[in-house]
């Protein structure tokens, strides 16, 4: 194998593929990155850990085709630090020689024969706009569980019904749901998939800059156990989570007794400041009265803080408490000028939605439901 490739092209490709390599691979070969050079002028780089696969194809001047396997993170570190000159890669016995200007590296080959076969690139079930896909995933993934107690809650539930796609995640303390439209290959498309949230978020961030993203679900992805994504020459697959996702849609309140509309930026900044005195797991209290919301934290001999923000409040006065981190996650995900908070009772889940103006209707395509914290005494 022998090829030449531009330094920036190599560095970007290796970095993208190597991002998902396991820090502690169960077997050494899974730390490898597969390089396949073909005489039609293409270099394909791949990585696979039995759960997630990543593959990218870039142009290269290939004089000898071939396949090698080298340590992925080492190649990523090297490629990012090479001088800004073309990179020559070739074999010299058992070593892979990487030459760039006066820089020379000799990397050990890993056994290609021991490397697992990558999943076949699936056929797309439809396409979605990259920025829309990225925003939706970011809005929902914040509510996925980050622990391992209930693995099923570490996923994002993706449901497709025709042109409507619904993403949903919960960690039992909050629930996030986003509805978007996409372009299915079949008008009667119907799929349900539970994708690991970390994988989905990483994929959305890395592919979303492209104009459109191809999604492969269900049979198109090679069976019910796989989901595929592709944008440009970048392709990735992920194993789905097994199990029945809890029926949490009933948590969304059908109606509210008290509603408050407040500037998102002002509320975020006020909660951040007040939360500075909140000890770990200590809630912030929000008191909604006509014309304002008062935010408070700390009691008794502890440090205390309070601040008031102008708000349009309809319905009975209400005092409620939230985990400040969870509250800020939801507010930060809205992406709208104003926030609408809807309440049924101080100990019932509150629904947070966004709107562009203070008089507008709430945009319910994104809903964030937050369980309040019971106040002592």
- Alpha helices (H) in 142-230, listed in sequence order: 197-207
Instruction: Tell me if 357 is assigned to some domain.
Output: yes
Instruction: Tell me if 377 is assigned to some domain.
Output: no
- One domain for residues 364 and 262: yes
What percentage of the chain has pLDDT greater than the value 70?
A: 98
- One domain for residues 301 and 324: yes
Query: Given a cut of 60, is residue 377 above it in pLDDT?
Result: no
To 5 degrees, how large is the angle CA 70–CA 75–CA 80? Answer: 165
Structure-derived torsion over alpha carbons of residues 91, 97, 99, 102, reported in degrees to the nearest 10: -130
Mean pLDDT is lowest, of 173-177, 191-195, 246-250, for 246-250
Q: How far is CA 364 from the centre of its chain?
A: 21
Query: Given a cut of 70, is residue 337 above it in pLDDT?
Result: yes
- One domain for residues 226 and 138: yes
Sign of the dihedral through C-alpha 228, 34, 212, 338: positive
Instruction: Tell me if 292 is assigned to some domain.
Output: yes
- One domain for residues 284 and 213: no
CATH number at residue 197: 3.10.150.10
- The mean per-residue pLDDT over the stretch 102-125 comes to 92
Which residue do the tokens 């209707």 mark? 361
Instruction: Tell me if 349 is assigned to some domain.
Output: yes
- One domain for residues 50 and 17: yes
Report which of 267, 268, 259 is spatially closest to residue 288, judged by C-alpha positions.
Answer: 259
Cα of first residue to Cα of last residue in the chain, in angstroms, is: 73
- The mean per-residue pLDDT over the stretch 236-256 comes to 88
CA 63/CA 86 separation, integer angstroms: 15
Residue range of the domain that includes 178: 126-249
Instruction: Tell me if 121 is assigned to some domain.
Output: no
Q: How confident is the model at residue 95 (pLDDT cuts 50, 70, 90)?
A: very high
Query: Given a cut of 70, is residue 221 above it in pLDDT?
Result: no
- One domain for residues 242 and 148: yes
Looking at 249, 275, 295, the residue that finishes a domain is 249
With a CB cutoff of 8 Å and minimum separation 6, the contacts of 223 are none
- One domain for residues 146 and 110: no
Structure-derived torsion over alpha carbons of residues 31, 35, 36, 42, reported in degrees to the nearest 10: 140
User: Which pLDDT belongs to residue 273?
Assistant: 96
Q: Which residues pair with 202 in a beta bridge?
A: none
Identify the helix (H) or strand (E) that includes residue 17: helix 7-18
Mean pLDDT is lowest, of 43-57, 249-263, 283-297, for 249-263
Which residue do the tokens 């020559």 mark? 88
Structure tokens at 214: 């191809």
- The mean per-residue pLDDT over the stretch 292-319 comes to 92
User: Which pLDDT belongs to residue 376?
Assistant: 67
Instruction: Tell me if 340 is assigned to some domain.
Output: yes
With a CB cutoff of 8 Å and minimum separation 6, the contacts of 372 are 320, 321, 322, 346, 347, 348, 349, 350
Q: How confident is the model at residue 194 (pLDDT cuts 50, 70, 90)?
A: very high
Structure tokens at 123: 């056929």
- One domain for residues 238 and 150: yes
Instruction: Tell me if 182 is assigned to some domain.
Output: yes
- One domain for residues 257 and 159: no
Query: What order do you get walking across the sheet with 305-314 strand by strand?
Result: 190-196, 155-161, 164-170, 174-181, 363-370, 350-355, 338-343, 258-263, 305-314, 292-297, 284-289, 318-322
User: Which pLDDT belongs to residue 308?
Assistant: 96
Total domains in the chain come to: 3
For the stretch 17-48, pLDDT in tens is: 998 898 888 899 999 999 999 999 999 999 99
User: Which pLDDT belongs to residue 44?
Assistant: 97
Q: How confident is the model at residue 111 (pLDDT cuts 50, 70, 90)?
A: very high
What Å distances lie between residue 170 and 83, 119, 133, 245, 288, CA to CA?
46, 29, 19, 10, 26
Are β-strands 363-370 and 174-181 bridged in parallel, bridged antiparallel, or unpaired?
antiparallel
With a CB cutoff of 8 Å and minimum separation 6, the contacts of 322 are 283, 284, 286, 350, 370, 372, 373
User: Which pLDDT belongs to residue 223?
Assistant: 60
- One domain for residues 169 and 225: yes
12, 57 contact by CB (below 8 A): no
CA 270/CA 248 separation, integer angstroms: 31
- One domain for residues 234 and 330: no
- The mean per-residue pLDDT over the stretch 264-286 comes to 92
User: Which pLDDT belongs to residue 298?
Assistant: 86
Q: How confident is the model at residue 147 (pLDDT cuts 50, 70, 90)?
A: confident
How does the average pLDDT of the chain come out, rounded? 93
CA 335/CA 140 separation, integer angstroms: 13
Instruction: Tell me if 196 is assigned to some domain.
Output: yes
Task: Give the chain's count of helices (H) and strands (E).
Answer: 6, 26
Looking at 222, 249, 276, the residue that finishes a domain is 249
- One domain for residues 147 and 213: yes
Tell me the whole-structure pTM to 2 decimals. Answer: 0.90
């Amino acid at each position: 194998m022998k090829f030449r490739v531009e330094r920036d092209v190599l560095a970007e490709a290796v970095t993208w593929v190597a991002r998902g390599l396991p820090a502690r691979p169960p077997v050494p070969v899974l730390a490898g990155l597969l390089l396949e050079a073909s005489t039609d002028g293409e270099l394909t780089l791949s990585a696979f850990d039995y759960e997630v696969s990543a593959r990218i194809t870039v142009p290269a001047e290939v004089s000898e085709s071939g396949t090698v396997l080298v340590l992925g993170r080492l190649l990523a570190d090297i490629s990012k630090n090479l001088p800004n000159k073309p990179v020559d890669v070739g074999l010299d016995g058992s070593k892979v020689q990487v030459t760039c200007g006066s820089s020379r590296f000799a990397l050990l080959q890993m056994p290609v024969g021991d490397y697992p076969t990558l999943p076949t690139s699936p056929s797309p079930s439809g396409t979605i706009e990259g920025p829309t896909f990225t925003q939706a995933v970011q809005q929902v993934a914040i509510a996925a569980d980050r622990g391992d107690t209930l693995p099923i809650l570490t996923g994002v539930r993706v449901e497709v019904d025709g042109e409507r796609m619904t993403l949903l995640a919960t960690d039992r303390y909050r629930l996030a749901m986003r509805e978007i439209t996409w372009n299915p290959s079949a008008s009667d498309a119907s799929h349900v998939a539970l994708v690991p949230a970390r994988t989905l978020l990483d994929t959305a961030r890395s592919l979303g800059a492209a104009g459109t993203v191809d999604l492969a679900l269900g049979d198109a992805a090679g069976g019910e156990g796989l989901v595929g994504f592709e944008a440009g020459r970048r392709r990735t697959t992920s194993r789905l989570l097994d199990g029945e996702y809890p029926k949490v849609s009933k948590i969304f309140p059908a109606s509210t007794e008290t509603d408050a509309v407040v500037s998102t930026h002002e509320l975020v900044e006020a909660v951040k400041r007040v939360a500075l005195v909140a000890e770990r797991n200590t809630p912030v209290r929000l008191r909604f009265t006509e014309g304002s919301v008062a935010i408070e934290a700390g009691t008794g001999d502890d440090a205390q803080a309070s601040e008031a923000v102008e708000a349009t409040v309809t319905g009975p006065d209400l005092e409620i408490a939230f985990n400040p981190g969870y509250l800020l996650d939801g507010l930060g995900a809205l992406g709208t000028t104003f926030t609408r908070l809807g309440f049924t009772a101080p100990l019932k889940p509150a629904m947070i939605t966004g709107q562009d103006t203070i008089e507008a209707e709430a945009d319910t395509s994104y809903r964030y439901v937050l369980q309040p914290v019971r106040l002592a005494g």
